[in-house]
A and B are shown apart, each in its own frame.
Chain A
Amino acid sequence: MSETTDTGGTRAQGAREGRMSGLSKEKIGGILARQGILVAFVLFMVGFALANQRFIAPDNVLGVIRSSAILGVMALGVTFVVISGNLDLSVGSMMSFSTIVVLDLHDQIGPALAIPAMFGLTLLIGAVIGFLVGYLRLNSLIVTLGMLSAIHGLTLTWSGGQNMDIADKEGTWFSVFGQGSVLGIPVPILIFAGLAVVLGLILAKTPFGRKVYAVGGNGVAATFSGVRRARVVFMCYLASSFCVATAGLIQASRSLGSQNTVGQGMELEVLAAVILGGASLLGGSGTIFKTVIGVLILGFIKNGLLLVGLQFYVQYTVTWVIIILAVWLDIAAKRGRLWSPIA
């Protein structure tokens, strides 16, 4: 009890001192609100590192990032879609499709042709979604919900319901995307990082990126400013499906065989990572960098809980608490009060 009072006193004093040196409490609050997720991430890492030395060992850190890469790559694309003010619930189902297709084509036409063919087919599906949501202006939640089901059906039809396996698992160079490494860094991490840098630059530094924010922030205003909303949304879904195809490539290459349901449920995990990064579902806010942080937080939570000896499913419940706290504190900082004004 006395400890709590002490902390409270220290904090009040700290704020007073802060104000004197020109840094007001509001400013600190603002910085915390804006970079809160980063602060939480650092605190979390330090906490787990103190609890278990192995947590920050280089091979463990690389391992976590590598296993987060597939989710991460998908989250990069979904960030575009979410910033543009839409949702994509079809990415998990689409990832299963890409994985199955590339594995099947691998044995039929060889990996060099299978990869572009798979990218083409996945982009085609992305274009269909982009057309429905962008040009026909249908509700993205329902369209992608429908596509989740439809693509799953497509995948099952393609594979005949069977698991897909590469015949000659030893002798193919195809495994390089999921299992290879360059200078000690696993290829999935390189792909994830490379894609994050490219997409991050596109979003932050190009006119197209600014249009994505404009469309999501205020679609009507953007339209009146001459931004072609439909085309921007269409491109966002293309970007998303490109990322999904890349994720499918990594997944297929890592396991060289797959079930039809390999991506099932990932759409919601991906969305959780994007939201955790601070993107608003209303659109207009979020960055690639923050999404990467969101992905890493989820990955390190999973890993940290396993290392302290908890079962894998504990992370589900921990993720729940973290997501709600993160979003709550974010909007609380924006409206300036903790509790909602809802009567």
Chain B
Amino acid sequence: MAPGTLSGLLQKGAIWGFIVLELIFFSVAGEFLSLSDKAFMDLDNMLLLLKQSAPIGIIAMGMTIVMINGNIDLSVGATFALAAIVLLDSMTWPIFAGLGDGVIPVAMALALLTGIVLGAINGFIVWKTGVDAFIVTLGAMLGYRGLVFMYNGEQPTSHLNWTLVDLAEAQPLGLHVATWALLIVTVLAWLVMTRTVHGRNAYAIGDNREAAVNAGIRVGPHMMLNFMGIGFLAALSAVVFYSESGSVNPNDGELYELWVITAVVLGGTKLTGGAGSVISTLGGVIAIQLLRKGLGHIGADTETVNLVIGLILIAVLFLDRQLNIKGKEALKA
């Protein structure tokens, strides 16, 4: 076996191994510690877990692509909130009054368009000004949040459309609509990153931008497209979530960027770009949700979850570096 194969395998499979470990641990510990007599691996419980993973998970797919591309997006939480407001508010606009339930696809389209536009603004600024994506999207995180507040002040925006709620609560083929959205997005993101020229170029740009430019790849449009993609997915996440809840506070989505990045990094995507996998990100998303649910199941307080997730993130970073240390030194020399 060539050196590095084992560590490569370990890295790719690590997140799934971790999930299995979590399942075993919480099932066993749950037998002794849980107050409820339901098993942890109950089917309903697992289905619910997938559904609850969806809002973070959908955005995490976009973040994976942006990070493979060598950028980062800190504005997704604010984009999420603004898209949610557009979704709920546009259903009450007088010009759509004659549409009846036909307003639903229109409102969804408007919300998704909002996400795409906000993403495009970020991408365009990164492309044309050459300012680091971290700074651009850090600014946008504040700027877009300001727009959210300007829309409706500090009031929550609420509108319940029962047709929409029924739609969101449906369970075609046993899975929730939100879960379907997450799975479809994952498959599409995987196809884009592994089967298209755009995906290949995204890896190339993230790995070595100079080389990509020399190879004739137009870096700017690719980056902008990826930012539009994550904006779209942040909006899609809002559509999935708020169709059911029907009310959005101006603070909603705060710290989402941090949860999303945590999930992506747990999945093994490099902050420096050029490496990472959409499927592993799905693993990262599920692992975090499992941890939250599992700790709740064995009666740990919610505060413990923050502590554990933080420590695991650092531990993963440490292990990852230990596994990589040989390969990296070989490259540097």
Contact = CB atoms under 8 A, between A and B. Distances in A.
A331 B135 CA distance: 13
Given A314-B146, A317-B146, A146 B311 contact: yes
B142 A142 contact: no
Contact of A324 (B136, B218, B301, B318): B136
Contacts of B219: 342-343
Nearest to A329: B129
A314 B149 CA distance: 8
A57 interface: no
Interface in B132-154: 132, 134-136, 138-147, 149-150, 153
Contacts of B302: 156, 161
A153 interface: yes
Interface in A313-343: 313-321, 323-324, 327-328, 331-332, 335, 339-343
Interface string B115-141: 000000000010111111011101111
Contacts of A153: 303-308, 310
A339 B129 contact: yes
B258 interface: yes
Interface in A114-156: 132, 136-139, 141-143, 145-156
B111 to A, nearest CB: 20
Contacts, number: 161
Contacts of A40: none
Nearest to A154: B307
Contacts of B265: 142, 145
A320 B127 contact: no
B145 A316 contact: yes
B244 interface: no
B313 interface: yes
A167 interface: no
Nearest to A136: B318
A145 B143 contact: no
A271 interface: yes
A281 B135 contact: yes
A153 B127 CA distance: 38
B149 A316 contact: yes
Interface string B257-300: 01001100100000100000000000000000000000000000
A147 B146 contact: no
A148 B128 CA distance: 32
A149 B263 CA distance: 13
Given A149-B262, A316-B146, A321-B143, A138 B318 contact: yes
A108 interface: no
Contacts of A321: 139, 143
A30 interface: no
Kindly state the interface size class of chain B when it binds its partner.
35 or more
Contacts of A275: 135, 138
B120 to A, nearest CB: 15
A319 B223 CA distance: 24
A281 B139 contact: no
Interface SS of A by simple majority: helix
Nearest to A152: B306
Given A138-B321, A139-B271, A281-B134, A156 B142 contact: no
Contacts of A271: 138
A342 B303 contact: no
A311 interface: yes
Q: Which of B125, B134, B317 has the most CB of A within 10 A?
A: B317
Q: Which of B135, B305, B312 has the most CB of A within 10 A?
A: B135
A156 B271 CA distance: 29
Contact of A323 (B128, B139, B220): B139
A343 B210 CA distance: 11
B24 interface: no
A229 B306 CA distance: 31
A138 B319 CA distance: 10
B165 interface: no
Interface string A74-114: 00000000000000000000000000000000000000000
A138 B317 contact: yes
A5 to B, nearest CB: 26
A320 B149 contact: no
Contacts of B262: 145-146, 149
A159 to B, nearest CB: 9
B314 interface: yes
B271 A268 contact: no
B254 interface: yes
A272 B308 CA distance: 28
A268 B130 contact: no
Nearest to B306: A153
Nearest to A310: B150
B309 interface: yes
Given A316-B142, A343-B218, A139 B135 contact: no
A287 B32 CA distance: 56
Q: Which of A147, A320, A323, A343 has the most CB of B within 10 A?
A: A320
Contacts of B139: 272, 319-321, 323-324
B213 interface: yes
Contacts of B135: 275, 281, 323-324, 327
22 contacts: A138-B318, A146-B262, A146-B309, A146-B313, A147-B310, A150-B309, A151-B310, A153-B305, A268-B138, A268-B141, A268-B142, A316-B142, A316-B146, A320-B140, A320-B144, A323-B135, A324-B139, A332-B129, A340-B128, A342-B127, A343-B218, A343-B219
Given A132-B314, A142-B271, A342-B128, 12 more contacts: A145-B258, A146-B313, A149-B306, A150-B307, A151-B310, A152-B310, A157-B304, A157-B307, A264-B255, A281-B135, A317-B147, A342-B130
Q: Which 9 A-B pairs have the closest CB atoms?
A: A320-B143, A340-B130, A150-B310, A153-B307, A316-B146, A156-B303, A317-B146, A153-B306, A313-B149
Interface of B: 74, 125, 127-132, 134-136, 138-147, 149-150, 153, 213, 218-220, 223, 254-255, 258, 261-262, 265, 271, 301-314, 317-318, 321
